[in-house]
With several copies, the nearest count.
Chain A
Amino acid sequence: MEIFTEQIRKEHFLSRTDARVKIISSLMILVMVLSYRGIFFPFFVFVSGMGLCYKMKIPLKRFLLRFSEPLFIVSVVLILKLFFSGKETLFSFAWFGITVIGHSDGLMEGIRIACRIMGAVSIVAVLGFSTPFNEIMAGLSWMRVPRSFVEISMFAYRYIFLLFEDGMVIYNAQKNRLGYTKIRRGLNSFGVLAGSLTLKAFDNSHNTTVAMVQRGYDGTMPLLKQKPFRLAEVSLSVLVIAVMGIIWTR
């Protein structure tokens, strides 16, 4: 489960910032990125995001993992736009008897989308890299996101880890009894694993509910209490948003 970026949360300026401030600022910047018609602003956000990731000392592997999917999509979009849309020919060549045409206006359009993607992705990545899940949840709940939605998200988050753990546990138990030494038996073992993982998970969800009810669970999970906003953080973020806004209007 190391793909979860939260696992690498370190002590740094952003991780200490109030989650609500981070969420609101990120969402505002995200909206600006998406509504901007040109290239400059998203690109600027992208570069700042990279800078923050660097400051947070995100390990390279996690960083690449996180950006691999968007980068991939960016390249697909660029290719699609370059060759399949637009009117003005940028270049053309023959390829197995087909004339392939690259369009300059298509390319421009592609770059615009690419910047938008990278800008948006990097701002959300910074939020994800710097904020633990339960803080985000507490923040969302403060922002009037329905409480039950927040709660099932927290359950889900917990169960994701549990499923992986239980999967590993069963895998080890099987390996220990020669479960994966022959291919045919291995497939069979894996089948047993999938089935019993499912059943165990259902049982587990039932058992833990019983344990929770025992300890006073009445249908609503207790959440982190929010500390009061700190003036310095709020004013800093207002400043950042204002600067961003000025750049955006240019």
Chain B
Amino acid sequence: MDPVIRLSVSIDLFTYPDGTRAMSDIGLSVHNGEFVGILGSNGSGKTTLLRLMDGLLKDFSGSILLDGRDVRRLSAREIYSKVGLVFQSPDDQLFAPTVFEDVAFGPLNMGFQESEVRERVFAALRDVDMKGYENKAIHNLSYGQKKRICIAGLLAMGHEILLLDEPTAGLDPMGEYRMMSLLTSLSKDKGVTIVMATHSVDLVPLFLDRLYILSKGSIVRGGTPEEVFNTPDDMTQVKLRLPHIAEMIYRLKHDDHLPFSKVPLTVGEARREIINLFNRTDA
């Protein structure tokens, strides 16, 4: 793990103006180049946490440090040249009339030449599988297509830190998988730091380095996927579940007493475990 800490969050309390206590006793940190997940039930505070990290909500007690400096003290320009946030609902994020104009907005503001802007836009659209939609009106896109454009809009800017609020919700299974691979390669190859809120439990162990579990505005657990995905009951308590594969092997191991040595989280690992088991008993 890169020892440099990019984001360090410690929040005592955050309350929305209408009185909702949305966040309390949060402490977490994100290292450079890490791919960190935030899981939690609906209303547990994932979006709130990301918005806090992005400097959009300022009325909290505690501190949020971006590269060691308090986000509340930083100017918009200082924050947003480093950090990009993809909102949960695409309608909150897209504002230009056409796909091209929306994705080009960021690069244009960064002052690139027209040719560079076009290049970035097309590369970003390719990355999210939306090539050929440049001139389509945004409001005529399907939901999943809008979602992809949101992400493209940020990718085109090449931030060092990406905050993603359920980027794969509403994407088709293949799109989901590709998006996660893309993000992983950004993080592994280009050193982009990524924090992502998600409900896609099954994909987490395949891609994420580390994850935190939120419940009712507090962090109840954190660690690598192996450390966190423990027993099904722990997960149901916070309205989550194990990945389906883990669930199955867990049941086989504990209820059906098959002698699995560990509970794997992914299809690949599970295959290996089952084959091992099979060979062992076979022999």
Contact = CB atoms under 8 A, between A and B. Distances in A.
Q: Do chains A and B touch in the complex (CB under 8 A)?
A: yes
Interface of A: 158, 161, 165, 169-170, 172-182, 185, 189, 192-193, 195-196, 199-200, 203-204, 207-208, 210-218, 222, 225
A123 to B, nearest CB: 27
Looking at chain A's contact residues, the main secondary structure is: helix
A173 B95 contact: yes
Contacts of B59: none
Given A173-B95, A214-B80, A216-B106, 8 more contacts: A165-B139, A180-B76, A181-B109, A208-B95, A212-B95, A213-B80, A214-B84, A215-B157
Contact of B105 (A174, A199, A200, A204): A174
Interface residues on B, range: 20 to 34
A176 B80 contact: yes
Interface string B75-119: 111001100110100011111110000001110111100100000
23 contacts: A158-B96, A158-B97, A169-B92, A173-B95, A174-B105, A177-B154, A178-B106, A182-B109, A182-B111, A185-B109, A189-B109, A200-B95, A208-B93, A211-B87, A213-B80, A214-B84, A215-B154, A215-B157, A216-B81, A216-B109, A216-B110, A218-B77, A222-B108
Nearest to A172: B56
Contacts of B75: 181
A29 B96 CA distance: 34
B34 interface: no
A225 B114 contact: yes
Contacts of A169: 92
Interface of B: 54, 56, 75-77, 80-81, 84-85, 87, 91-97, 104-106, 108-111, 114, 139, 153-154, 157
Given A213-B80, A214-B80, A176 B95 contact: no
A169 B56 CA distance: 11
B89 to A, nearest CB: 9
A177 B77 contact: no
Which residue, A195, A211, A215, has most C-beta atoms of chain B within 10 A?
Answer: A215
A177 B56 contact: no
Contacts of B84: 176-177, 214-215
B2 to A, nearest CB: 25
Contacts of A222: 104-105, 108-109
Contacts of A215: 80, 84, 105-106, 109, 153-154, 157
Contact of B108 (A170, A185, A195): A185
Contacts of A173: 87, 92-95
